[in-house]
Amino acid sequence: MISTFSSLQGLLEQMPELFAQMQELIPKERKLAVAVSWGSDSMLLAFLVQTFREKQGRNQNFLFFLHCNHKVRRESDDEQAFLHDFFHQYNFIVFERVENASANEESLRARRYEQFSRFMREKSIEVLLTGHNLTDRIEGTVLNMLRGCGIKGFVGMKRVEEHILLDGKQVLRLLLWLSKEKIQNLVEDFGIPYFHDKSNDDNSVSKRNLIRNQFLFPLAEYSFGDDGERAFWHSRNLVYQHVEQQFLDKNLFLQPLKLNPYRWASQGFEWCLPEGLELEKSLGGVVAALNINLSQGEYLELCRGLKESSDGYWSFGDWQIFVAHGKKYFIKGKRSFWEKELVLEKKVTEIWIQTFGLYQIEVWEELLWAKIRFAKQGDKYQGKSLKKRMLNQKIPIFRRNALPLAEKEGKIILVWKPEMLIF
């Protein structure tokens, strides 16, 4: 077991592709936070980021290691103690779950990101790095396909993206092209300490475990190639790379949306215009490609609105154009299609995947006997206006009241966010 990062200076040189990515994505002046769980992936990430920052000559005030002790396993406190000793020379921050708080996977994730977000805001940290890897990504794809997804759900997590649970701050996933198997080999080769969570071997704990242990790992075992470089992982990675390259039109930068099944809309796109490109020149191509009929005055009005507004709405024939929290959307549908209140209710009587109208919804024990319905005027969640909560979470107006929620004993206990429904 090694006790310092210094002995791993050669690690980055053995991974030139990753080193090049880090040079591109992590400017010297950026403050960073790394999520650390003591699993092999997050520990490898911690070593990589620390050695890279040392190469940049950055002091410790620009790097923080964040750990969340959920207190759901007997080993949690021991893991926290080890990590505290291991990272004692660095900015190591621990967040602990309140004992009586919900312990289901989704609640723990939401609370973890909420704590991270608050800390990052206080410390002016711009980026959170996580240890998500290629195996995690494929698991997510399979789960999304079981729920029913389009291209966006297939691609799932991306290397770099603004995260809704971090108030739009950036998440960076440097290990997304490495399989869990490859990561395991690396930490063992370099003597990086880590802990294996045995609950990940239990298929009854989660569907993700079941997919990983009974589907992905057997497929990898039967594929060609040496350990850690198996053809199965390599081919999946190539598919993701290809899809991501084709995801945005090279000229228009239009990312297709999976449309809400309860809204009359035939097409939908998010316009992801890269920084540095002139909006005026690019907008003309978008308008022409989508066949939006605009007069010169309307075009200038739209151009000005998209440039100057962080929130706004314009209607031109069948096309409804939104700016929501700085993001731009083009949706073909009836004017004000999002305003109609949706009425549908269902009692949860069993755990697993439930059908709710046109949705497939994951249900766990905490939701048993709850009532699933859509949002309505005046709803409150955890003591606050549901509408304001959705605004704070940057959920655009055309999605807000079409999100299912669970109500138990007269209280809303969960709202399914867009990413949970795989739009």
* Domain shared by 287 and 196, yes or no: no
In a domain, 338, yes or no: no
In tens, the pLDDT along 187-201 reads 888 888 888 777 676
* DSSP reduced 3-state for 37: coil
In a domain, 248, yes or no: no
Mean pLDDT in the chain?
81
Domain edge (last residue) among 243, 278, 312: 243
Domain edge (last residue) among 243, 272, 289: 243
* Domain shared by 57 and 123, yes or no: yes
Instruction: Note down the domain range covering 181.
Output: 6-243
Residue 274: alpha-carbon gap to chain centroid: 20
* Domain shared by 320 and 187, yes or no: no
* Domain shared by 66 and 149, yes or no: yes
In a domain, 353, yes or no: yes
Task: Flag whether pLDDT at 99 surpasses 50.
Answer: yes
Per-residue pLDDT at 205: 59
In a domain, 340, yes or no: no
For the chain, what is the total number of helices (H) and then of strands (E)?
14, 19
* Domain shared by 229 and 141, yes or no: yes
Average pLDDT over residues 313-338: 90
The contacts of residue 206 (CB under 8 Å, 6+ apart) are 105
Give the CB-side neighbour count of residue 173, counting CA atoms within 13 A: 19
* Domain shared by 308 and 262, yes or no: yes
User: 72-86, 209-223, 225-239, 320-334: which range is least confident on average?
Assistant: 225-239
Task: Flag whether pLDDT at 284 surpasses 80.
Answer: yes
Burial of 198 (0-12, 13-18, 19+ CB in 10 A): exposed
Helices within 196-230 (DSSP H only): 207-211, 217-222
Q: Encoding tokens for residue 168? A: 């739009």
CA-to-CA distance for 74 and 296, rounded, in angstroms?
67
Helices within 316-417 (DSSP H only): 386-392
CATH of the domain at 258: 1.20.59
* Domain shared by 27 and 70, yes or no: yes
Q: Which amino acid is at 170?
A: Q
In a domain, 58, yes or no: yes
In a domain, 71, yes or no: yes
* Domain shared by 225 and 273, yes or no: no
CB atoms within 10 A of CB 215: 13
CA-to-CA distance for 134 and 192, rounded, in angstroms?
20
Tokens 């594929």 sit at which residue? Answer: 223
* Domain shared by 291 and 143, yes or no: no
In a domain, 314, yes or no: yes
In tens, the pLDDT along 67-78 reads 998 887 778 888
Domains in the chain, number: 3
Per-residue pLDDT at 398: 85
* Domain shared by 268 and 303, yes or no: yes
CATH of the domain at 45: 3.40.50.620
CA-to-CA distance for 157 and 150, rounded, in angstroms?
14
In a domain, 95, yes or no: yes
In tens, the pLDDT along 134-162 reads 989 988 888 877 766 666 677 788 888 87
Task: Flag whether pLDDT at 329 surpasses 50.
Answer: yes
Task: Flag whether pLDDT at 35 surpasses 90.
Answer: yes
pTM recorded for the entire structure: 0.61
Higher local confidence (pLDDT), 158 or 44: 44
CA-to-CA distance for 47 and 192, rounded, in angstroms?
8
In tens, the pLDDT along 370-386 reads 999 998 888 998 888 99
Domain edge (last residue) among 223, 243, 263: 243
| Closest by Cα among 159, 164, 168, 162 to 133 | 159
Burial of 16 (0-12, 13-18, 19+ CB in 10 A): exposed
CA-to-CA distance for 238 and 232, rounded, in angstroms?
10
